[in-house]
Copies of this chain bind each other. A is one copy, B any other.
Amino acid sequence: MIVLQAKPLSALLPVRSAAMEAAAAAASPLSALFFCSPFSHLRSAPGFRLLALSLPLADGLRAPSGTALLLPSRRFCVSARSSGDQIVARPSSEMRKNPFGGCDRGAGDEKLRALRELFSRPDVGIDAYIIPSQDAHQSEFIAECFMRRAYISGFTGSAGTAVVTKENAALWTDGRYFLQAEKQLSRDWILMRSGNHGVPTTSEWLNDVLAPGCRIGIDPFLFSSNAAEELKDEISKKDHELVFLYDFNLIDEIWGESRPKPPINPTRVHDIKYAGVDVSSKLFSLRSELIEAGGSAIIISMLDEVAWLLNMRGNDVPNSPVFYSYLLVEMKRVKLFIDNTKITMEVKDHLTNAGVELRPYEGILPEIERLAASGAKLWLDPSSVNAAIVSIFKSACDKHNRKTRKGENKEVVASIKNQDIQAEGPFGLYKVSPVTMAKAVKNRAEIEGMHNSHIRDAAALAEFWAWLEEEISKNIAYTEVEVADKLLEFRKKQPGFLDTSFDTISGYGANGAIIHYNPNSESCSVVGDKNLFLLDSGGQYVDGTTDITRTVHFGEPSLRQKECFTRVLQGHIAIDQAIFPEGTPGFVLDILARSPLWKIGLDYRHGTGHGVGAALNVHEGPQSISFRYGNMTALQKGMIVSNEPGYYEDNSFGIRIENLLIVKDVELPNYYGGIGYLGFEKLTFVPIQNKLVDLSLLSHAEINWLNDYHAQVWEKVSPMLDGGAREWLWNNTRPLPQD
């Protein structure tokens, strides 16, 4: 195996010299050099071209001048058959950080050093440790005390996995965060760009860098059972063992005293006028499904599922009104595992009325063992319930069933019989939580709450945009963070506002190209009138959850920007107007959003739509609209999805246009196949900047869509506004001319 080093990406050297240097750096003769290009942002560098194939060294280098040598990833292995050697390219992040020399990883990082020291402690004894982003509930937004991956790596994006071996430290994240991770990771870290061609998965990489037979540690609370099983299978290919460290989290150990305390914020009752269905009815439906599945109990571990099922809300994490807890529903009892200090008197009454008992949060593992011992048929969603719970339950079942088979411990069996539970022994039902779908399909009250909160949110946004346009016209400088803070002020004025629904993405110019940009008050840009400004934000209201992106230009957009914006808008309109038969999975629609961009060779590296909770998580399943074709969940009447195509020109600008939509039945002149057809109804009513539209690209129907939309925005939102904001709304909802 020859590991090549290459020029930094920024150098853009001609291929000949770059290849020669790479060849010189290699330890043995090369028969060929391999070039490929997962680095699309370089496409836009002027005069720069990438080659997708190999160049034979023997024949000399025949690449066009201006071609750069790129050796993208460890996994981009190509057999150079003529020589029998194998050439392995290194990740580009390493090239950038460490242009010409050898490896000097890990030396400078105190946290990594401390972590690696723990590896050899007798009660640890591991060769690598995997630090995911998750808390014990697979939450997207987590309390600060659980932000272990950010603590160890310095990368603060919402998605990512850190893996630390005795020699290496690598961080995986997806296309939304490539630029952010490049900025935040120290040189001790290798950035792994998930989804790029040839980038290995964490387990592939571990199998690659570790000698066979290593012990790889995880905190089993932080992995879903499925994720842990998959990891175990993958690493077993190299005879590695997955070690569950139940009793301590290694990051917490090195974090020590400075680690924040777990949250103990009070919970509240989610009013029935917003929830629509009372807890008893929800529990009745859940138990019906449980009976149907042959179960006697179910563990609900997703925080939004607990909140939805109990018509409760909390305040433990940013952006989502949830509270740390587990819920156990048995046929006759319901137990909520939660820190008691979070329970107000109102909540206590509410829970008592619904027959819900309280248990300490930490009581969950002993309860799981008790369930197994009592012969429970326990429904566990292995995609959300953590590996600690599932693993403990399985062990307890094995123990119990072994005892029963051996004829030992007959008293236990007898006592189970007395409890009127079938004595065949406990088992697990590993299926998707039935709450996931029940929660996704909104009832009438939830839809009404979503409508109402979106109109108030739209009023706040109209006030905000009117304010910002005015300030910028007066040449007053606001940073991205100040702008986001001001938006929060406007939202706070709206009745029922509680919190943002995610960290506001306020990205001016090149920052807009960082898909999940999180501006930092020290280093962020000033919002001006020379480039596009992308603003993706949302609010948590007592009755609903919003998520909206608008992209605007306060000066003169370039033709390029107008073309890209218009194509993103065309994709947005195509999704909005889609009509499709019942049973259609969301991914089928995805191409509608991308087609206008594909026509000129553009695309975007994120899904087109995600589910949204009603006064709950801003991202929820099971539905999605994505270019990942695996999610077969059909879109159903009452589901909410975002519609957010985009385009990102790295180091230049970003565009995204996002509304939320409700899936609805549509009335049509025909119903071929005797089935219903579905379409979308908009929830979001905020102007889309006409200035950015290239009218020559739009069809009549598309122009009509935009004009109709703006007429609706005016009609619905203007009654909430006065003064400058009303004037702004009037000006920004005028119809575009139809030729």
Contacts and interface: CB of A to CB of B under 8 A. Distances in A.
A601 B671 contact: yes
Contacts of A600: 668-670
A602 B43 CA distance: 42
Contacts of A670: 43, 600-602
A174 interface: no
A406 to B, nearest CB: 32
A588 interface: yes
A579 B598 contact: yes
Contacts of A579: 595, 598-599, 601
A679 to B, nearest CB: 9
B591 A674 contact: no
Contacts of A605: 673
A97 B723 CA distance: 74
A38 B673 contact: yes
A103 interface: no
B592 A580 contact: no
Interface in A669-728: 669-677, 699-701
Contacts of A588: 590-591, 629
Nearest to A574: B595
B674 A36 contact: yes
Most chain B beta-carbon contacts within 10 A, residue among A39, A578, A595: A595
Contact of A674 (B50, B578, B672, B674): B50
A579 to B, nearest CB: 5
Contacts of A52: 674-676
A544 interface: no
Contacts of A37: 674-675
A599 B598 CA distance: 23
A428 interface: no
A603 interface: yes
A52 B676 CA distance: 9
A588 B625 CA distance: 12
Number of copies: 2
- Residue from the set A589, A600, A671, A701 with the largest chain B CB neighbour count within 10 Å: A671
A668 B603 CA distance: 13
Contacts of A587: 629
B601 A43 contact: no
A511 B571 CA distance: 39
Contacts of A597: 672
A220 interface: no
A40 interface: yes
Given A591-B591, A595-B592, A585 B629 contact: yes
Given A589-B591, A595-B592, A701-B699, A602 B672 contact: yes
Contacts of A590: 588
Interface in A568-582: 578-581
A444 B703 CA distance: 44
A472 to B, nearest CB: 30
A386 to B, nearest CB: 31
A588 B628 CA distance: 11
Interface in A36-79: 36-40, 42-43, 50, 52
Contact of A673 (B589, B595, B603): B603
Given A43-B670, A671-B43, A674-B43, A578 B595 contact: yes
Nearest to A591: B588
Given A43-B670, A43-B671, A699-B700, A677 B598 contact: yes
Contacts of A632: 629
For A632, A674, A676, which residue has the most chain B Cβ atoms within 10 angstroms? A674
A569 to B, nearest CB: 16
Most chain B C-beta atoms within 10 Å of own C-beta, residue among A50, A590, A669: A669
21 contacts: A36-B674, A37-B674, A38-B674, A39-B674, A40-B672, A40-B673, A40-B674, A43-B670, A50-B674, A52-B676, A579-B599, A581-B603, A585-B629, A588-B590, A591-B592, A599-B668, A600-B670, A603-B672, A699-B699, A699-B700, A699-B701
Given A43-B670, A43-B674, A599-B668, 8 more contacts: A43-B672, A580-B591, A588-B629, A589-B591, A591-B592, A598-B677, A600-B670, A601-B670
